[in-house]
A and B are shown apart, each in its own frame.
Chain A
Amino acid sequence: MATVEPHRVRAGRGVELGLLVLALALAVGAYALVGLGTSDEVPADVLGYGTGLAALALGMHLVLRWRAPFADPVILPVTVALNGIGLAMIYRIDVAYEGAGKDHGFAGRQLLWTTISVVLAAAVLVCLRDHRTLRRYTYTAMVVGLVLLGLPLLPVLGTSINGARIWVNVGSVGMQPAEFAKLALAVFFAGYLVTHRDTLALAGPRFAGLQLPRARDLGPILVVWAGSIAVLVFERDLGTSLLLFGLFVAMLYLATERVSWVVIGLLMFVGGAVVASSVFSHVAARFDAWLHAMDPEIFDRLYGGSGQLVRGLFGMASGGLFGTGWGQGRPDLVTYAESDFIVPSLGEELGLTGLLAILMLYVVLTQRGMRAAVGVRDGFGKLLAGGLAFVVAWQCFVVVGGVTRLIPLTGLTTPFLAYGGSSLLANWIIVALLLRVSDDARRPAPAARGVRPDEPLPGEVEAGPTRVPAASATRAPGTGAGVGAEPDDEHPTERIGGLA
């Protein structure tokens, strides 16, 4: 009737190298075109810049060949392309700022941060041989995440910039600890939900077609909800609070497959946001700027007006279908064109065609993360990869939705594109973790290593203490595509104990 056999897995390192060359060509080409567009000549240091970027990308590629030979071949090139395009855009805005006599020098710092991030991502891949190690630090990650979230509230360390208190000054370097908090919390949610998902999914009454959770199981979601509302209230940052809560609800849904959690989560967030918009002026201003962006009095309002948003829209409109070309537009007219509003800047110079290509790159990146989550065999890895992939997509949605007036504008960074060291660092670590999980997902099943030849015969093995745990058999061929339902996932602790 049918033949069942495992696929022959292509490691894909050669394909990755080919795509990397393409991605590097895009990054260096953008840099050269910015020079051509702004000063009619290719920048003198384009060779040095290209060599540096190529060295970083190839270094990461070699680390993958060494430590994660079966990692997904698409993730790294897509990330390099996004980072390179972001660098070129920041350089382009730098040139414009320099011409206008404004504060500049963003591109150099971003390049430095890129180097640090790639080196750190490579270090994560080298040191972290198995993502399941992270599960041991489930509750440590929770504490770390909460501390990082609360850090900007400390009197000396934390600083308030433009109304949002999300910055921490370490020496002369400003960091946004919330970017790292999202990593720690993703690890915590994955570890917590993999143990508790059955109670969250199965217990409780049914109402109107929804499987409702029991009241006492609502505890953790209430804690996270309170945490994200606290961020909103005390740090006055809508973006981080949205990010946190979205991550938690998405991971709850991934773990339990219950639509009721999504409904409850959305209702709770909408409720919280409505109350917040009526109580806090800065949230109300964001809503005003979103709903009545074109009103002159709101456009001209000095603080919390819609001027930035509308100028971004005009920029994208002047870009049209094919854009003005690198260095030909005026993206610098928008405030924060290099960080919050880098998407309209790209929309202006690359047009709808280019912006859609960039969004497609994010789609591919997210899809690869989700695919790794489907393919990996352990529940913790599934949740971690799914959650991290979701974070990238969610941040994109919130930012792009904000600048295109689909949803109220919030201060989140565009992963890999926007100027900002913390964001770049955190997102490269996400990529390293996704690569690590995808390596585990795509690695072909190893030979059964349950009983070694020097061990007693099967008859004696049965009774002896060296009896093969059933878990070792889940590595058998054919289980790679098991979507979700792994019988061993119900006892992940035992599995991990057995593997350690």
Chain B
Amino acid sequence: MSELTITLLRLGYLALLWVLVLSSIAVLRRDLYGTRITKRRSRTGAPAPVPAAAGPAVATTGPPTAPTPVTAPRSARGQRAQRGAQRGARLVVTQGPLTGTILPLTQSAVVVGRAPGCTLVLEDDYSSSRHARIFPQGGAWYVEDMGSTNGTFVHDQSGDHKISGPTPLTPGQSVRVGRSVIELQG
């Protein structure tokens, strides 16, 4: 066998070795898991990530000075609760340091609080480390206080009410946790 072939095979093998190394690293680059946090371009501009299906709730994602809780027609609420728990539901922070943050909901429960392990981590001195839990059941969403210091409040037409047990949450209704207000959108 010629000298050239041997040299080519020798260098070719080294090249192949590095192809494996580099393609492994390329796989690592794409292999991300955990949470993705997408920054929105501007808070006051058009709320592009919010699909039109959200309806009147869009208005509440504006600046924190305009916390206008949505007043969807009563009759539509039941259907919306059904649909919201199935898909497309999300939590939107409408007041507090994280205003404008959107958390898409899946079929799993969501914990809100200051602890890093929470799904929605609040930078809010008035909330507890594991403050409240929002979970789906029977096609609707419920909010439950997890023994927080300052309590969890649900807003309805007659004002804020401190909750004591799991409380049903309809789309458009907002929950106050510390200084933050979180709204469920269907």
Contact = CB atoms under 8 A, between A and B. Distances in A.
B87 interface: no
Contact of A462 (B11, B19, B99, B166): B166
Contact of B33 (A74, A368, A441): A441
Contacts of A448: 107-109, 135-136
Instruction: Among B20, B104, B111, find the residue whose CB has the most chain A CB atoms closer than 10 A.
Output: B20
B21 A360 contact: yes
5 contacts: A5-B38, A22-B20, A448-B108, A476-B111, A479-B117
Nearest to A447: B107
B99 A1 contact: yes
A477 B119 contact: yes
A487 interface: yes
B31 interface: yes
Given A476-B110, A487-B129, A458 B102 contact: no
B108 A77 contact: no
B116 to A, nearest CB: 4
Interface in B105-145: 106-111, 115-120, 129-130, 133, 135-138, 142, 144
B17 interface: yes
A152 interface: no
B36 interface: yes
Contact of B17 (A357, A470, A474): A357
Given A364-B25, A487-B117, A7 B34 contact: yes
B179 interface: no
Contacts of B120: 4, 478
Contact of B14 (A353, A375, A447, A479): A353
B23 interface: yes
Contacts of B107: 447-448
Given A1-B40, A6-B35, A354-B14, A458 B27 contact: no
Contacts of A1: 39-40, 43, 93, 98-101
Interface in A112-154: none
Given A357-B14, A476-B110, A3 B27 contact: no
Interface string A272-299: 0000000000000000000000000000
B28 A367 contact: yes
A450 interface: yes
Interface string A343-361: 0000000110110011011
Interface in B1-38: 1, 6-7, 9-11, 13-14, 16-21, 23-25, 27-28, 30-38
Instruction: Among B27, B37, B49, find the residue whose CB has the most chain A CB atoms closer than 10 A.
Output: B27
Closest 5 CB pairs of A and B: A481-B34, A458-B166, A325-B10, A1-B100, A447-B107
Contacts of A36: 1, 6, 9
Given A328-B10, A367-B28, 14 more contacts: A1-B100, A3-B37, A3-B103, A4-B120, A22-B19, A33-B13, A77-B20, A325-B13, A357-B18, A453-B138, A458-B144, A473-B110, A479-B118, A487-B117
Contacts of A483: 116
A450 B135 contact: yes
A19 B20 contact: yes
Contacts of B129: 487
A326 B10 contact: yes
B23 A477 contact: no
Given A350-B17, A485-B115, A364 B24 contact: yes
A58 interface: no
A417 to B, nearest CB: 13
B146 interface: yes
Contacts of A322: 10-11, 14
A367 B101 CA distance: 32
A451 B16 CA distance: 53
Contacts of A477: 35, 106, 108, 110, 119
Given A3-B40, A5-B103, A472-B109, A462 B16 contact: no
Contacts of B133: 470, 473
Contacts of A364: 21, 24-25, 28
Chain B interface size, as a band, is 35 or more
Interface of B: 1, 6-7, 9-11, 13-14, 16-21, 23-25, 27-28, 30-40, 43, 49, 93, 98-104, 106-111, 115-120, 129-130, 133, 135-138, 142, 144, 146, 165-166, 168
A37 B5 CA distance: 11
A451 B135 contact: yes
A482 B34 CA distance: 8
Contacts of A360: 21
Contacts of A326: 10, 13
Contacts of B36: 3-7
A448 B110 CA distance: 9
A476 B20 contact: no
A480 interface: yes
Given A357-B17, A470-B133, A447 B108 contact: yes
A13 to B, nearest CB: 12
Contacts of A10: 30-31
Contact of A354 (B9, B17, B104): B17
B87 to A, nearest CB: 12
Given A36-B9, A486-B117, A22 B28 contact: no
A40 B1 contact: yes
A442 interface: yes
A442 B33 contact: yes
A361 B21 contact: yes
A350 B104 CA distance: 52
Interface in A169-191: none
Contacts of B18: 353, 357
A459 B20 CA distance: 57
Contacts of B38: 2-3, 5
